[in-house]
């Protein structure tokens, strides 16, 4: 099997599964319990948090375990809006965010908040001038993803953070789900207030994640109860899952240091081949994240190509697996200003550090064969 849908989810690493099993069977106590088993589990949780903080180069108390990117994004966005609405009710995001961000903002609009959706250029890069014009003394939150999950665009977060920091009422949230482990984001060096990470995008388990919250930032909790996670996210902690997440974070960090250039080379190999194929349009800009290549085959339905490749045990995708947009069109490609025939025929290849040169070469051969066959049928 050649799996090239890693932006949707990744295969859990064996070491991650081992960490989860060992923690689940040995440290199964409730970390809030006062007996020895509970206290041992609580110590393991503290250790996991410290390790995560070390990898992110932030303080332990700035790390909050969540169930993944969707919860983290909702908690950051709604938590800021509800907590600080007396200071202003204006929010800013972009037109190409993940559905968990866009839908969170739309829900806040129903509660009376005003949202500005910043446009992007053909490469998916935010319009900085529009951001500057949109910011005001009423703005309390700006939310911009680091790496786009469909086309791989890397947003200029350093510049955005510098601009937003001039507005003391405004907080900056960064969705780092697609970037973590592939594109470095120095949280300790930038004026980022909140940041979200998901475990199942980095060979961890589904239902795991982290929200970074800079010390001093206050949020309105979305769940109330026993006061776990500094009362930001009440509920008994899933310690085995959190331990497994931190293992995945450590492993992906090591792989990024060792294999990022190899991944970049594989991406270049794919793009070079695609550019030789008649009428194929490469949608991923340059530079961009090293693991994502998005392209369109005008006139061919993406689902048809996906199923054709599936017959050869090759797995790619169309757009975000979480997209709530019409199945006929990529909302991201549309926001970039592409023509309908491009937005309706987009395909996404997303690699991992486990992807090999042989995998890519075989995929490219089978893609060319399927494209040639389907093109003749369409004629």
Q: Which of 127, 106, 109 minimizes the C-alpha distance to 118?
A: 127
The reply to whether 322 belongs to the active site is: yes
d(CA 42, CA 54): 18
Q: Which of 12, 35, 120 minimizes the C-alpha distance to 354?
A: 12
Beta-strand pair 209-213/63-66:
antiparallel
Q: Which residues are CB-contacts of 160 (< 8 A; sequence separation ≥ 6)? A: 126, 128, 131, 142, 144, 172
Residue 361 in tokens: 């070469």
Residues β-bridged to residue 141: 91, 171
Tell me which DSSP letter residue 209 carries.
E
Q: Decide: 251 and 203 in contact? Cβ < 8 Å.
A: yes
State phi, psi for 65 to the nearest 5 degrees: -80, 135
Q: Decide: 21 and 256 in contact? Cβ < 8 Å.
A: no
d(CA 22, CA 14): 12
Q: 224 burial class (0-12, 13-18, 19+ CB within 10 angstroms)?
A: exposed
Tell me which DSSP letter residue 155 carries.
P
Residue 5 in tokens: 């849908």
d(CA 234, CA 228): 5
Q: Which residues are CB-contacts of 196 (< 8 A; sequence separation ≥ 6)? A: 66, 69, 72, 73, 76, 173, 174, 175, 176, 177, 209, 210, 211, 212
Q: Decide: 68 and 51 in contact? Cβ < 8 Å.
A: no
321, 322, 365, 378: the catalytic one is 322
Q: Which residues are CB-contacts of 243 (< 8 A; sequence separation ≥ 6)? A: 19, 20, 23, 44, 48
State phi, psi for 356 to the nearest 5 degrees: -110, 165
List active site positions. 322
């Amino acid at each position: 099997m050649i799996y090239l849908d890693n932006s949707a989810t990744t295969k859990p690493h064996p070491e991650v599964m081992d960490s989860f099993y060992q923690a689940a069977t040995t440290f199964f106590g409730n970390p809030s319990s006062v007996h020895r088993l509970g206290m041992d589990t609580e110590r393991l949780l503290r250790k996991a948090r410290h390790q995560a903080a070390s990898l992110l180069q932030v303080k332990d108390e700035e790390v909050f375990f969540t169930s993944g990117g969707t919860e983290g994004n909702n908690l950051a966005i709604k938590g800021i809006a509800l907590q600080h609405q007396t200071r202003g009710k204006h929010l800013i995001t972009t037109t190409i965010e993940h559905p968990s961000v866009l839908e969170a903002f739309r829900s806040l609009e129903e509660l009376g908040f005003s949202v500005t959706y910043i446009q992007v250029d053909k490469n998916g890069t935010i319009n900085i001038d529009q951001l500057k014009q949109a910011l005001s003394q009423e703005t309390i939150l700006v939310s911009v993803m680091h790496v786009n999950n469909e086309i791989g665009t890397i947003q200029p977060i350093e510049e955005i953070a510098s601009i937003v920091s001039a507005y003391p009422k405004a907080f900056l949230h960064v969705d780092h789900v697609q970037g973590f482990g592939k594109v470095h984001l120095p949280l300790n060096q930038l004026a980022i207030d909140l940041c979200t990470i998901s475990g199942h995008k980095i060979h961890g388990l589904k239902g795991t994640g982290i929200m970074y919250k800079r010390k001093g930032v206050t949020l309105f909790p979305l769940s109330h109860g026993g006061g776990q996670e500094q009362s930001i996210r009440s509920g008994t902690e899933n310690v085995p899952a959190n331990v497994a997440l931190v293992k995945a974070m450590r492993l992906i960090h090591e792989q990024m240091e060792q294999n990022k250039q190899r991944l970049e080379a594989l991406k270049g190999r794919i793009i070079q081949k695609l550019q030789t194929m008649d009428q194929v349009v490469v949608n991923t800009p340059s530079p961009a994240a090293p693991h994502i290549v998005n392209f369109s085959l005008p006139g061919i339905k993406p689902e048809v190509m996906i199923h054709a490749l599936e017959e050869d045990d090759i797995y790619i995708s169309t757009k975000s697996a979480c997209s709530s947009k019409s199945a006929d069109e990529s909302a991201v490609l549309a926001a970039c200003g592409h023509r309908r025939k491009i937005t309706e025929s987009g395909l996404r290849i997303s690699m991992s550090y486990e992807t090999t040169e042989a995998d890519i070469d075989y995929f490219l051969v089978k893609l060319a064969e399927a494209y040639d066959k389907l093109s003749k049928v369409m004629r």
